[in-house]
Amino acid sequence: MAPIRWILNGRFSVMLIMFATLFLIVPLGPREVNNRISFFDIVIMLVFISCLRAVVVSKRYLCFLIALTVINIGIGSTAILSSNSPIGFIAIVQLFKIVYTFLIFYSIMRYILHSSPVTSDKIYGAICAYFLMGFMWADGFMLLHQIDPVSFKVPMEMLSDKQWPIYFSFTTLTTLGYGDISPQTTAARAYAVLEAAAGQIFLAVIIARLVALQIIHGNGRIEETDQS
């Protein structure tokens, strides 16, 4: 019952489970459901749906996010299923995904940085925000690739895999950088450097904030105990 209670009560539990499935289970399964859509695409859609539970602030904001999620899944599915989508349409899809992911990321960060006590759910939210940042940058790199195909040097065997921007994004975000994919243009290099810096700043700020909140609220509980 405890795991079920954790899933039902946690604000970010479902979203974290979706991310864990995406990185730990999906790579071990079959690559495609059919010639156009993969299990990865399906789980990504489930991640977007799980975002609704994570960022609910008000009924009006929830309706706004539901509308954006439907549009995001709709245009994303159209781009996946269509074999001859124009470059302009694909670029618009990527730009919309960037804006959508940023709104989710911003909402989660507001919750994490709030002065309320540190809970396990707030820590799960920080992990989800870190993953979202990687996907947001991946959409940005794909947009650069669509605008200028020489922006990145990608091995031929990886070009057919539409997930290479995600791989490059997370190796950059974590400053791992295997070197098999490399930025070739000034814009691509600049954004890659910016992502690497943003990843380190995120970790430093989040850890400092959570530690500070824990100290503040921990001292407050100690004072209450002493007074009683």
What's the domain range around 29? 2-227
Residue 133 region, left (φ>0) first, then alpha (ψ -120 to 50), else beta?
alpha
pLDDT score, position 138 = 94
Q: Which of 45, 50, 55 is nearest to 13 (CA)?
A: 50
Q: What percent of the chain has pLDDT over 70?
A: 82
pLDDT value for 37 = 62
Cβ atoms within 10 Å of 81's Cβ, excluding its own: 13
Distance CA 106, CA 103 (A): 5
Mean pLDDT across the chain: 82
Integer angstrom CA distances of residue 81 from 24, 36, 77: 25, 6, 6
* Look-up of token digits 């990865």: 40
pLDDT bin (cut points 50, 70, 90) of residue 111 is confident
- Predicted pLDDT at 46: 83
* Total tally of structural domains belonging to the chain: 1
What angle, rounded to 10 degrees, do the helices at 39-54 and 87-113 form? 40
Pull the structure tokens for residue 20: 């864990």
Q: Give the integer Cα–Cα distance in Å for 221 and 88.
A: 56
225 pLDDT band, cuts 50/70/90, is: very low
71/103 Cα distance (integer angstroms): 14
- The arithmetic mean of pLDDT across residues 87-101, rounded, is 85
Q: What is the pLDDT of residue 36?
A: 56
